[in-house]
Homo-oligomer: A and B are copies of this chain.
């Protein structure tokens, strides 16, 4: 039961991370300009909340310190890469319109 809860906690965290990725590649990427400061602020807030969730899971003993660090670092890098890719893609589309 205890292992089940730990697995459950890790799976929920992974799903939460996936949701942030999907927001970025989905509606944000389609409907919002990445340069828009509101987009940046929403992503920053989502990452803050995510890192606090992960930290709480670590403090509860649901995940190890190493897993916590990896989860946050990996998502940060991925989000940054996605953000850059979408920004460049949007810029090239805007260039075409000119």
Q: Is the interface of A mostly helix, strand, loop or mixed?
A: helix
The reply to whether A5 and B60 contact each other, CB–CB distance below 8 Å, is yes
* A16 contact set on B, CB distance < 8 A: 56
* A59 contact set on B, CB distance < 8 A: 12
Give the distance in Å from the alpha carbon of A57 to the alpha carbon of B53 in the complex.
9
CB of A94 within 8 Å of the partner chain: no
Contact residues on A (Cβ < 8 Å of other chain), bracket: 10 to 19
Give the distance in Å from the alpha carbon of A16 to the alpha carbon of B60 in the complex.
12
Q: Which of A25-69 contact B (CB under 8 A)?
A: 45, 48-49, 52-53, 56-57, 59-62
Indicate which residue in B2, B8, B56 contacts A53 across the interface (CB closer than 8 Å).
Answer: B56
